[in-house]
Structure 1
Amino acid sequence: MVKKNLSLNNHIDKEKNSFELIREDILSYYNILSNEHSITKGTFLEESAKKFILENPNAFLFALIAEQSVKTEVAWSLPYNLKERLGHFDIYKFANYSEEEFEVFFKTKPALHRYPGTISKYILSACKILIEKYSGSANNIWKYPSTANEIIARLNEFKGISQKKAALGAMLLIRDFMLEVEDKNHVDIAFDVHIKRVFLRSGLVNKDDLNELINIGRILNPEYPGILTSPFWNIGRNWCRPTNPNCSECPIRRGCLKKINSFTK
């Protein structure tokens, strides 16, 4: 019994130490990565597309909707490419198109998205909500004194925006567009397959469960869990890959329990 208790205590101590090392390393990695992944400071967007996002709140919303199964640069360049294709970015004109007509602008080669039909429908729906509820401008979603909770709830009203995108949108508005909110602690980590893989393999969570992942994010950085999205996502994409993970160079290798077989997709 004594040996069993000692073994259990050693296991618990190992997991606690692992958690603290990951917390330290992921926050350090965030500081390195924050400018690189910033919409306003990073280099993943062409200057023309970046300028368009910065100057047009509706472009920000449409790019957020387009964050689905494509590279980040494809999603965040889509509004600018749509404007260039049509010669305007007037959502009142957009709203007058039928779904079939609007889809053509997305599907015409080169297609603006991997799923042009789905994304065109989501964006057309967003145009109508913006006109009906926000005077035609997404800026009114977050312009007035608002809490992070309110912004996330409003973003969730749009088709194609889920927990992941709403949390991501709030995080980007705060981090890259300097939006001031008092409750940054309510901006959770965005649930994503790359992030889920890292959490499972590192031992941060023991099962594939959204609520558990979100709760661990809150414990890792209670003041602002959402900032963990970028560093964990980048680790999942570049080191903790589905196959042949590069554990030796991973930024959280000191604390990772390397449960590689717990998640292989």
Structure 2
Amino acid sequence: MPQLRIAQDEHADQVLSGDPVALIVGMLLDQQFPMERAFAGPAKILDRFGTLDPAALAAADPQAFADLCATPPAIHRYGRSMAARVQALAAVVRDDYAGDAAAIWEQAADTADLLVRLRKLPGFGDQKARIFAALLGKQLGVTPPGWRETIGPYAEDGSFRSVADVRDPDSLQRVREFKQAVKRAAKQQAQAP
């Protein structure tokens, strides 16, 4: 598996690069929170809980797991509620994919099927599914025929729209600037008469 550099932290990026569960949990956590910190969350869970095995995560005592996730530095701004989502996601991976998170994309018939599979995951809407599919394509080589067209703008070559484009501090900053520009434009449009 290629070496990802999304979290901008060597240990966290090694965890993301070596464990598909970590990668999908990082994507789950990537909302209302700085993306590099969200993608560092799986390493925190691994360090505190001892495993990212989906069966173990899903079976953990919810209160104890929420405490673990909310302990500073928390895995997310909303550590307790995200802990429940991590457990729900782990249960889907355990039950629907025999504990193999990579099967979500490795067994998909095509990009459309991959997006359907991703949208069924707890915490994954259409946009998050497209961003994750773009990440898989751009950084992990998961590129079924027509993947760019099916995914849309997030798959554009040379774009800096999302976590799919983060490979180093410079690209992280460019993605952050793109997101800020989109927010400014939306705010201006909302304020227009």
> Which of these residues, 114, 131, 149, is aligned with residue 151 of structure 1?
114
Instruction: Give the structure 1 partner of residue 79 of structure 2.
Output: 116
Instruction: Give the structure 1 partner of residue 11 of structure 2.
Output: 48
**Hey, what's the Cα distance between the residues in 1 that align with 2:50 and 2:4?**
27
Instruction: Give the structure 2 partner of residue 262 of structure 1.
Output: 189
Is the aligned partner of 1:93 residue 2:56? yes
Shift of 1:236: 3.5
Query: Contact 1:102–1:120 (CA<8 Å) still a contact in 2?
Result: yes
Instruction: Give the structure 1 partner of residue 152 of structure 2.
Output: 188
Distance 1:260 1:115, change over 3 A: closer
Aligned length: 178
Shift of 1:74: 0.7
Query: Contact 2:7–2:39 (CA<8 Å) still a contact in 1?
Result: no
Give the counterpart letter for 1:114 in structure 2. Answer: R
Instruction: Give the structure 2 partner of residue 4 of structure 1.
Output: none
Alignment root-mean-square deviation, CA:
2.7
**Hey, what's the Cα distance between the residues in 2 that align with 1:259 and 1:91?**
38
Query: Contact 2:45–2:69 (CA<8 Å) still a contact in 1?
Result: yes
Residue ranges of structure 1 left out of the alignment (5+ in a row): 1-38, 191-223, 243-257
3-state SS in 2 of match to 1:141: helix
Structure 1 residues 1-265: aligned runs within 5 Å: 40=3, 42=5, 44-144=7-107, 146-184=109-147, 185-189=149-153, 224-225=155-156, 228=159, 229-230=161-162, 233-237=175-179, 242=184, 261-263=188-190
Query: Contact 1:95–1:127 (CA<8 Å) still a contact in 2?
Result: yes
**Hey, what's the Cα distance between the residues in 1 that align with 2:190 and 2:55?**
45
Residue ranges of structure 2 left out of the alignment (5+ in a row): 166-173
Shift of 1:260: 7.8
Q: Which has the higher contact order (CA 8 A, sep 6+)?
A: 1
